[in-house]
């Protein structure tokens, strides 16, 4: 009886929701299939697009909590590179475990440092991000000077075969629970909605924002493992070069959060996947691959423009309805 | 009553900058009591509510809750102590669900082993909503999807969750439709029956008399008196609220409406409607000061903005006598309409910019040579002329406006518009927060402008000023114009209040 | 408050930049120390030889006064192995009685490069040595700077193709010349080698847009593909996610069996190898790269990588020697011709071991006597060019007598 207190979703509307959620990537993939059924009709090709989105997905999840509380931190890339370099270094000494712990522990530390700088200085997250980015990039360059950046191929197993799915599913469960089923997640969303009101409701905004950086760092650690294992290499970047690592995942997150038919955690997956497919479409059309960011940018503007102006777009229809009801 | 009161407020004072919001106000509320708090706008009633609920801190004075010292750091501490307040402006987070709103900051209750039980939270939220008599809001609904009234009820549910000992309701009823009001009234009754207390802040006298057992009346931040239920009489309360004396020399010397003069129309507004305004038509005339008076939320401030084309979704028309339609604020400036906002600091001035830049802003086109080049000297000339003319007290015209006092800031605003050769002045509370000396000079300036044949609309919450300065007075209530008075020495404040409340 | 914050931020940024710079100078200092140590511990016999040589050269050209020098060396970075190696090679000349200061330009832009050169001149450099990697357009500006400040400048890994710019630098008395590898030839050779291994359908990964070196290598590779009747299937330009780009390309063009990265072996070839494996084409698609990387040994050994061209670290060394000869008033290259530098081709792990040991090891591959001899007044530019072209791992080994 008690279950009836709360509204239950019917199976039909559940199916509708799933279709709505996956509509975008499926449509995009159909474009690929239309260009060449022979090449993209294969299940392997379909799976490949999912695999390709995994690294960006992990980075996206790590940024999602921050973005939820309006923290935009472009230092993610520099932290990933630095944590990756440290992880690779440790892998040479302690093997796979060295890689995992090296990446995760250093990333949590770097995230905490960034959060601390943010909390102490109380400057906007973007500025904090740039400041620490410059430092972390330099540190990465210094570090890589005195060490060999090579990771041996036996330590790349985490991104191979089924391992990547296991890792991603574990990450998904963790992120999903953190975002939807913990006090932390609830309060994060409250702050993101209206910080002033949230504070007056007794939510410790400053502490939670700091924790967001720490949690973000933890997740960046796993994203780093995937990043390194996937490409088989990690190269230090300087001159703000690390920033581009964050761009594609941010687009995935923004797109994901616009998808209202599903939970944001799933949304980020759908967003990242969609953007990955757009990249593949570029190549399939024989366009320059570097046009990808341009296309994704335009795509994002269209989607956001649609989202933000949806009310206006549908206004003529609703006012008509009002008139009818008035009569 | 010898019982310890639930809350006792002793000699509370509070200042905001130059304004003394509360002056040594004391009040006691006992268990089972509904205490009304009434007064004009600016009388300090909301400030007092905010201090008790921890949203503001008192400068002086003390409070006792259940006979114990009580000085909440913030509203959260207050609510932990059993004091909850629902305020007029919005206090819910739109992007999360109703349930999450009700239990925001108290989610810990539903956490087991680190995992938050969403279902349990929603079930409790639902039962809470049911308990306060709301049956059609679902806890899993996004708050964004609710109407403003329903969101208010979510706040009520949130405040009621802890079953507070003291429940402060600040002008919330104005935001609620009849259904919501009834829910709130029955809730107040319930709280009362449970032996708890309510402070009910309102300006609606009928509502006050219906709901409250006692009423404390405030005026200009000072305690006037406390009335028992039996003593409550609408006209008595009204006169206690606003009964203040007018000092004559302050305002215009002439006291009659000059009907020998031909007043030609300057700005004509027809059938203006927004969500706050209901079909308002009026005419501002050259050589005349038109007073517009009402309670703060009656829509008169919105009307001022509507006249300069501020609202995009405005229905109806505003046109100058020459036929030019005022469709946006740029057109208004071009057509020499000056607008002084009630919220001077954020809407009328660039605070961190210099006096010079502020004064020159609307006049830049006329200052520039060949249509684009502005010389330093022409800038300085214009700005210093007008700042001297209005006697702006400053070290230099490049001093940031930020550093000026309220009165001098207002002079800069006026200098800006006078310098722009404005013909129509829409002044929203031009003397708000300004000390007597500057006030007087502003009044003199208004008379000068009137004599020059300029058209002036003065929007004000101060009755004395309206009566003292206006040729014609329009009263406004709930977004509608209710009455028009002509200048008359016998006009009493109480005559006007009738049409305001 | 805002002021305070901005000051703190500025300090942080400066600290960041200083952190970068200080380590740079530390590094060069360390290198100096190391080289000093080496010469100290060298056998006595060699020292004797050195003094003999010194007296020789003293009598040979009495008018040549070898005054102490300061070479300002500007580089895009020292984190990649090529940047690291050329910076190392640049300091070989320090043994001739001078100092080499290394400045890392912040970014691949003309502005960044000009700023870097300005830094060096301000630090008192007598000679500036750089690669016009931000594009030819940077040269006129630097030429002007050099002339104004009376500082010699030499460009390595650079070819001037614009006649107007050529004319400008030629008329500048402080311009020394350029060194470069035959980029076109290197691109050509790469394809030839891969074709021998059976490659027919090529994908080229470009690491930069509008940069002459990169374009020349691509042109060379394209020409070879054309000449040999093979197919250039697709060109990937500066991918952000190389692995994905290569995967997508291999799915779209299943016929592809060679991936040529014309620069950045570590950045592009390693992810390409991962991509080839992930689409199940391991062993079927050949790869080749430019510039040495840390992982290429293992990759060559595993057969994932066919060849790498690089190791042209002497490009900066010979440029510096050329500039020194001009600074000392006896230019080895009075006509300001381009000095050609050979690439090393690496196709096996042993090649790499030898490179690490003999070229970029603890001891510079050229002794001070050899350096001085190569620019002595009795040598012509052709002799100098010959010495440069002789550069190979085997050459170093044989001169060491090992």
pLDDT tens for A162-203 read 899 999 999 999 999 999 889 999 999 889 888 878 887 778
pLDDT at C49: 42
For residue A255, the distance in angstroms to the closest alpha carbon of chain B comes to 17
Q: Which residues of A touch B91 (CB under 8 A)?
A: 197, 200
30-49 of A, contacting C, C-beta below 8 A: 36, 39-40, 44-45, 48
Q: Which helix H or strand E contains B218, and what residues bound it? A: strand B214-219
Q: Which residues of A touch C252 (CB under 8 A)?
A: 36, 39, 283-284, 286
**Which residue ranges form the domains of chain C, and what is each CATH number?**
184-310 (3.40.50.2300)
Which of A63-67, A269-273, B29-33, B45-49 is the least confident region? B45-49
Check: complex ipTM more than 0.85:
no
Instruction: Give me the mean pLDDT over the C35-48 stretch.
Output: 41
Q: Which residues of B touch A188 (CB under 8 A)?
A: none
Q: Residue A97's CB: how many other CB atoms inside 10 A?
A: 11
pLDDT at C402: 62
Q: Residue written as tokens 């600040």?
A: B170
Contact A141 C78 (CB under 8 A): yes
pLDDT at C47: 42
189-208 of A, contacting C, C-beta below 8 A: none
pLDDT at A312: 61
Cβ contacts from A onto C, under 8 A: 138
Among candidates A6, A197, A198 on the partner chain, residue whose Cβ is nearest the Cβ of B123: A6
Of residues B19, B46, B352, B288, the one with CA closest to residue B170: B46
Contact A198 B105 (CB under 8 A): yes
pLDDT at B173: 63
Cα C58 to Cα C17: distance, rounded to the nearest angstrom = 44
Confidence of residue C61 (pLDDT cuts 50, 70, 90): very low
Cα A45 to Cα A29: distance, rounded to the nearest angstrom = 10
Q: Which residues of chain B have pLDDT under 50?
A: 1, 244-248
For residue A191, the distance in angstroms to the closest alpha carbon of chain B comes to 8
* Domain boundary assignment for chain A: 21-322
Contact C244 A279 (CB under 8 A): yes
The pair of structure tokens assigned to A167 is 């890792």
For residue A9, the distance in angstroms to the closest alpha carbon of chain B comes to 12
64-123 of A, contacting C, C-beta below 8 A: 121-123
CATH architecture of A21-322: Orthogonal Bundle (1.10)
pLDDT at C204: 94
Cα A175 to Cα A173: distance, rounded to the nearest angstrom = 6
The pair of structure tokens assigned to B306 is 């509507």
Cα A87 to Cα A225: distance, rounded to the nearest angstrom = 8
Instruction: Give me the mean pLDDT over the C331-354 stretch.
Output: 90
Report the CATH fold assignment for B256-336+423-500.
Answer: Rossmann fold (3.40.50)
Q: Which residues of B touch A190 (CB under 8 A)?
A: 93, 96, 100-101, 104-105
pLDDT at C46: 42
Pick the residue with more confidence: B415 or A312?
A: B415
Q: Which residues of C touch A48 (CB under 8 A)?
A: 247, 251, 278-279
Q: Which residues of B touch A5 (CB under 8 A)?
A: 123, 126
For residue C307, the distance in angstroms to the closest alpha carbon of chain A comes to 18
Question: Which CATH number is correct for B7-242, 3.40.50.300, 3.30.565.60, 3.20.20.10, 3.30.830.10?
Answer: 3.40.50.300
Chain C residue with minimal CA distance to A85?
A: C79
Among candidates C8, C16, C239 on the partner chain, residue whose Cβ is nearest the Cβ of A134: C16
For residue A312, the distance in angstroms to the closest alpha carbon of chain C comes to 37
Total length of chain A: 327
426-455 of B, contacting A, C-beta below 8 A: none
Residues 6 or more apart whose Cβ sits within 8 Å of residue A71: A118, A125, A209, A212, A213
Question: Between the CA of residue B124 and those of A25, B102, B204, B348, what are the distances in Å?
Answer: 38, 10, 34, 48
Does A2 lie at the interface with B, CB-CB under 8 angstroms?
A: yes
156-195 of A, contacting B, C-beta below 8 A: 177, 180-183, 185-187, 189-190, 192-194
Contact B93 A193 (CB under 8 A): yes
For residue A235, the distance in angstroms to the closest alpha carbon of chain B comes to 38
User: Is the per-residue pLDDT at A324 higher than 60?
Assistant: no
pLDDT tens for A108-159 read 999 999 999 999 988 888 889 999 999 999 898 888 766 777 788 888 888 8
pLDDT at C135: 78
Does A142 lie at the interface with C, CB-CB under 8 angstroms?
A: yes
Q: Which residues of C touch A36 (CB under 8 A)?
A: 252
Does C124 lie at the interface with A, CB-CB under 8 angstroms?
A: no
pLDDT at B180: 75
Contact A190 B105 (CB under 8 A): yes
Chain B residue with minimal CA distance to A192?
A: B95
CB C220 within 8 A of CB C187: yes
Contact B123 A2 (CB under 8 A): yes
pLDDT at B445: 87
19-78 of B, contacting A, C-beta below 8 A: 55, 74-76
Cα B145 to Cα B148: distance, rounded to the nearest angstrom = 9
pLDDT at A226: 94
Of residues A250, A321, A305, the one with CA closest to residue A62: A250
**What mean pLDDT, rounded, does chain A reach?**
84
Instruction: Give me the mean pLDDT over the C21-33 stretch.
Output: 39
Residue intervals of chain B classified under CATH 3.40.50.300 are 7-242, 256-336+423-500
Phi first, then psi: give them for residue B141, nearest 5 degrees: -70, 145
Q: Which residues of B touch A194 (CB under 8 A)?
A: 92-95
Chain A residue with minimal CA distance to B110?
A: A183
Q: In what order do the strands lie in the sheet with C307-310?
A: C231-237, C201-206, C258-261, C286-290, C307-310, C344-346
User: Is the per-residue pLDDT at C33 higher than 50?
Assistant: no
User: Is the per-residue pLDDT at A80 higher than 60?
Assistant: yes
Does A264 lie at the interface with B, CB-CB under 8 angstroms?
A: no
Cβ contacts from A onto B, under 8 A: 80
Cα A292 to Cα A283: distance, rounded to the nearest angstrom = 9
CB B174 within 8 A of CB B208: no
């Amino acid at each position: 009886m008690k279950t009836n207190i709360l509204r239950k979703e019917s199976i039909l509307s559940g199916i509708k929701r799933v279709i709505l959620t996956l509509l975008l990537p499926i449509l995009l993939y159909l474009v690929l299939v239309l260009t060449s059924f022979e090449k993209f009709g294969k299940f392997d090709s379909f799976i490949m697009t999912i695999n390709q989105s995994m690294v960006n997905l992990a980075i996206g999840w790590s940024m999602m909590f921050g973005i939820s509380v309006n923290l935009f931190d472009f230092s993610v890339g520099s932290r990933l590179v630095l944590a990756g370099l440290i992880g690779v270094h440790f892998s040479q000494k302690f093997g796979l475990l060295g890689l995992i712990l090296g990446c995760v522990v250093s990333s949590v530390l770097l995230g905490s440092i960034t959060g601390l700088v943010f909390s102490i200085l109380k400057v906007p997250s973007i500025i904090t991000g740039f400041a620490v980015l410059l430092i972390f990039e330099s540190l990465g360059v210094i570090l890589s000077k005195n060490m060999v950046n090579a990771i041996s191929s036996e330590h790349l197993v985490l991104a191979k075969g089924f391992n990547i799915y296991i890792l991603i599913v574990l990450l998904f469960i963790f992120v999903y629970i953190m975002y939807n089923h913990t006090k932390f997640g609830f309060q994060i969303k409250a702050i993101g909605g209206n910080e002033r009101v949230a504070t007056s409701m007794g939510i410790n905004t400053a502490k939670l924002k700091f924790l967001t950086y720490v949690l973000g760092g933890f997740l960046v650690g796993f994203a780093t493992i995937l990043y390194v294992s996937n490409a088989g290499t990690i190269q230090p970047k300087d001159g703000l070069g690390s920033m581009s690592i964050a761009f594609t995942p941010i687009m995935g997150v923004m797109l994901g959060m616009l998808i209202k038919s599903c939970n944001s955690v799933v949304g980020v997956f759908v967003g990242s996947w969609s953007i990955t497919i757009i990249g593949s479409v570029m190549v399939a059309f024989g366009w320059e691959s570097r046009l990808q960011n341009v296309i994704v940018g335009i795509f994002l503007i269209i989607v956001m423009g649609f989202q933000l102006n949806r009310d206006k777009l549908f206004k003529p229809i609703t006012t008509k309805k009002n008139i009818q009801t008035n009569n | 009553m010898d019982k310890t009161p639930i809350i006792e407020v002793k000699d509370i004072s509070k200042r905001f900058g130059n304004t003394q919001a509360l002056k040594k106000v004391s009040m006691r509320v006992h268990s089972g009591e509904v205490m009304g708090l009434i007064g004009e706008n600016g009388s300090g009633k909301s400030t007092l509510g905010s201090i008790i609920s921890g949203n503001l801190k008192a400068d002086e004075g003390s409070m006792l809750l259940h006979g114990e010292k009580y000085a909440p750091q913030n509203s959260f501490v207050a609510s932990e102590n059993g004091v909850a307040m629902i305020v007029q402006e919005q206090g819910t987070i739109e992007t999360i669900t109703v349930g999450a709103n009700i239990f925001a900051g108290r989610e810990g209750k539903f956490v087991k082993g680190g995992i938050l039980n969403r279902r349990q939270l929603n079930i409790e939220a639902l039962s809470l909503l049911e308990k306060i008599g709301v049956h059609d809001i679902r806890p899993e609904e996004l708050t964004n999807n609710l109407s403003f009234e329903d969101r208010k009820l979510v706040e009520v549910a949130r405040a009621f969750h802890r079953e507070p000992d003291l429940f402060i309701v600040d002008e919330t009823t104005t935001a609620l439709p009849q259904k919501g009001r009834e829910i709130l009234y029955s809730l107040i009754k319930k709280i009362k029956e449970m032996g708890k207390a309510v402070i009910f802040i309102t300006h609606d006298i009928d509502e006050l008399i219906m709901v409250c057992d006692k009423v404390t009346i405030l005026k200009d931040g000072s305690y006037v008196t406390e009335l028992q239920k039996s003593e409550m009489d609408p006209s008595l309360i009204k006169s206690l609220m606003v009964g203040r004396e007018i000092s004559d020399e302050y305002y215009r010397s002439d006291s009659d409406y000059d009907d020998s003069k031909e007043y030609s129309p300057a700005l004509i507004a027809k059938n203006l409607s927004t969500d706050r305004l209901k079909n308002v038509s009026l005419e501002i005339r050259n050589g005349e000061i038109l007073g517009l008076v009402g309670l703060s939320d009656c829509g008169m401030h919105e009307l001022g903005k509507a006249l300069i084309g501020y609202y995009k979704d405005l229905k109806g028309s505003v046109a100058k006598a020459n036929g030019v339609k005022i469709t946006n604020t740029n057109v208004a400036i071009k057509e020499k309409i000056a607008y002084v906002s009630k919220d001077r600091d954020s809407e009328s001035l660039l605070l961190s910019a210099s006096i010079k830049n502020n004064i020159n802003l609307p006049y830049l086109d006329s200052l520039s040579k060949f249509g684009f080049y502005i010389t330093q000297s022409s800038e300085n000339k214009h700005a210093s002329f007008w700042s001297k003319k209005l006697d702006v007290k400053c070290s230099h015209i490049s001093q940031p406006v930020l550093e000026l006092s309220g009165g001098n800031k207002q002079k800069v605003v006026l200098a800006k518009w006078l310098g722009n050769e404005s013909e129509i002045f829409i002044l929203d509370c031009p003397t708000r927060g300004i000390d007597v000396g500057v006030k007087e000079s502003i009044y003199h300036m208004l008379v000068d402008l009137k004599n020059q044949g300029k058209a002036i609309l003065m929007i004000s919450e101060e009755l004395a000023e309206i009566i003292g300065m206006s040729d014609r007075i329009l009263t406004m209530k709930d977004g509608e114009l209710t009455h028009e008075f002509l200048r008359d020495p016998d006009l009493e404040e109480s005559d006007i209040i009738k049409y305001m409340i | 408050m805002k002021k305070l914050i901005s000051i703190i931020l500025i300090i942080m940024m400066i600290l960041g930049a200083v952190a970068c710079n200080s380590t740079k100078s530390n590094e060069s200092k360390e290198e100096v120390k190391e080289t000093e140590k080496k010469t100290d511990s060298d056998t006595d016999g060699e020292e004797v030889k050195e003094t003999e040589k010194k007296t020789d050269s003293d009598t040979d050209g009495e008018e040549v006064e070898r005054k102490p020098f300061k070479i300002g060396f500007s580089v895009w970075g020292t984190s990649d192995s090529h940047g690291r190696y050329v910076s190392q090679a640049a300091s070989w000349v320090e043994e001739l009685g001078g100092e080499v200061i290394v400045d890392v330009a912040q970014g691949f832009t003309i502005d960044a490069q000009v700023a870097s050169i300005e830094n060096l001149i301000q630090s008192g450099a007598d000679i500036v040595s750089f690669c016009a990697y931000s594009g030819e357009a940077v040269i006129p500006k630097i030429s002007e700077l050099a002339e104004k400040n009376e500082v010699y400048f030499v460009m390595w890994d650079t070819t001037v193709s614009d006649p107007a710019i050529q004319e400008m630098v030629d008329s500048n008395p402080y311009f020394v010349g350029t060194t470069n590898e035959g980029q076109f030839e290197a691109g050509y050779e790469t394809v030839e080698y891969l074709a021998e291994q059976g490659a027919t359908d090529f994908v080229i990964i470009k690491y930069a847009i509008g940069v002459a070196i990169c374009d020349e290598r691509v042109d060379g590779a394209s020409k070879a593909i054309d000449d040999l009747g093979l197919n250039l299937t697709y060109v990937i330009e500066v991918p952000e996610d190389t692995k994905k780009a290569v995967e997508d390309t291999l799915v779209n063009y299943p016929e592809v069996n060679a991936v040529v990265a014309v620069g950045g072996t570590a950045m592009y070839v390693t992810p390409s190898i991962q991509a080839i494996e992930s689409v199940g084409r391991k062993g079927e698609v050949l790869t080749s790269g430019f510039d040495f990387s840390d992982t290429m040994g293992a990759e060559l050994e595993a057969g994932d990588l066919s060849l790498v061209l690089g190791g042209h670290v002497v490009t900066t060394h010979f440029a510096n020697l050329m500039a020194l000869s001009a600074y000392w008033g006896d230019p080895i290259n009075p006509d300001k011709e381009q000095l050609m530098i050979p690439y090393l081709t690496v196709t096996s792990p042993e090649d790499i071991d030898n490179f690490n040991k003999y070229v970029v090891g603890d001891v510079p591959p050229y002794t001070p006597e050899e350096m001085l001899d190569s620019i002595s007044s009795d040598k012509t530019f052709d002799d100098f060019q010959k010495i440069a072209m002789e550069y190979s791992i085997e050459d170093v080994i044989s001169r060491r007598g090992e």
